Chain A
Amino acid sequence: MKRAGFTARWLPILLLMPQLVIIAVFFYWPAAHAVQSSFFLQDPFGFGSTFVGLDNYKDLAGNGEYLSIAWFTVIFTVLVTFLSLSIALLLAVKADNVLRGAKTYRTLLMWVYAVAPPVAGFIGLIMFHQSWGPLTELARSIGWDFKLGVNFNDTATAMVIVSVWKQVPVNFIFFLSGLQSIPKSVREAALIDNRSASGRFWDVTFPLLAPTGFFLLITNITYSLFDTFGVIDTMVKGEPGNNPMTLVYKVYVDGFRGNDLGGSSAQSVVLMVLVLALTVFQFRLVERRIHYT
Chain B
Amino acid sequence: MAQVSLKNIRKVYPNGAEALTPSSFDIGDGEFVVLVGPSGCGKSTLLRMVAGLEEITEGELTINGRVMNDVDPADRDIAMVFQNYALYPHMSVRKNIAYGLKNRKTPKDVIERKVAEAAAMLNLNEYLDRKPSQLSGGQRQRVAMGRAIVRDPALFLFDEPLSNLDAKLRNQMRIEIKALQRRLGVTSIYVTHDQVEAMTMADRIIVMNAGRIEQIGTPAEIYHRPASTFVASFMGAPPMNLISARLDGGRVMINGDTVLAAAEGSGAVTLGIRPEDVVLGAEGSISFHVDIIEELGAHRLLHGRLADQEFTIHVGKDVEAAPGETRIALKSDAITLFHPETGKAL
Contact = CB atoms under 8 A, between A and B. Distances in A.
Contacts of A199: 103
B88 A189 contact: yes
Contacts of B87: 186, 189
B86 interface: yes
Interface in A213-234: none
Contact of A195 (B74, B89, B99): B74
Interface stretch (A57-65, A122-130, A200-208): A200-208
B90 interface: yes
Interface residues of A, number: 20
Contacts of B74: 191-195
Interface stretch (B77-85, B213-221, B222-230, B251-259): B77-85
B79 A293 contact: no
B75 interface: yes
Given A192-B73, A195-B74, A195-B75, A186 B99 contact: no
A5 B90 CA distance: 32
B137 interface: no
Nearest to B81: A189
B103 A194 contact: yes
Contacts of B73: 188, 191-192
Contacts, number: 64
B51 A192 contact: yes
B88 A204 contact: yes
A210 B91 CA distance: 13
Interface residues of B, number: 24
Contacts of B79: 192
Given A194-B74, A207-B90, A189 B103 contact: no
A194 B99 contact: yes
Q: Is the interface of B mostly helix, strand, loop or mixed?
A: loop
Contacts of B103: 193-196, 199
B72 interface: yes
Nearest to B103: A194
B82 A208 contact: no
Nearest to A293: B89
A293 B133 CA distance: 8
Nearest to A186: B86
B53 interface: yes
A204 B86 CA distance: 12
Contact of A189 (B52, B82, B90, B131): B82
Given A192-B100, A196-B103, A186 B88 contact: yes
Contacts of B131: 291
B212 to A, nearest CB: 25
A189 B87 CA distance: 8
A248 B103 CA distance: 48
Given A192-B100, A194-B100, A293-B133, A183 B84 contact: yes
Contacts of B51: 188, 192
Given A183-B86, A291-B89, A193 B100 contact: yes
Given A189-B147, A190-B88, A195-B74, 14 more contacts: A186-B86, A186-B89, A188-B82, A191-B74, A192-B52, A192-B100, A193-B99, A194-B74, A194-B99, A194-B103, A196-B103, A203-B99, A291-B90, A293-B133
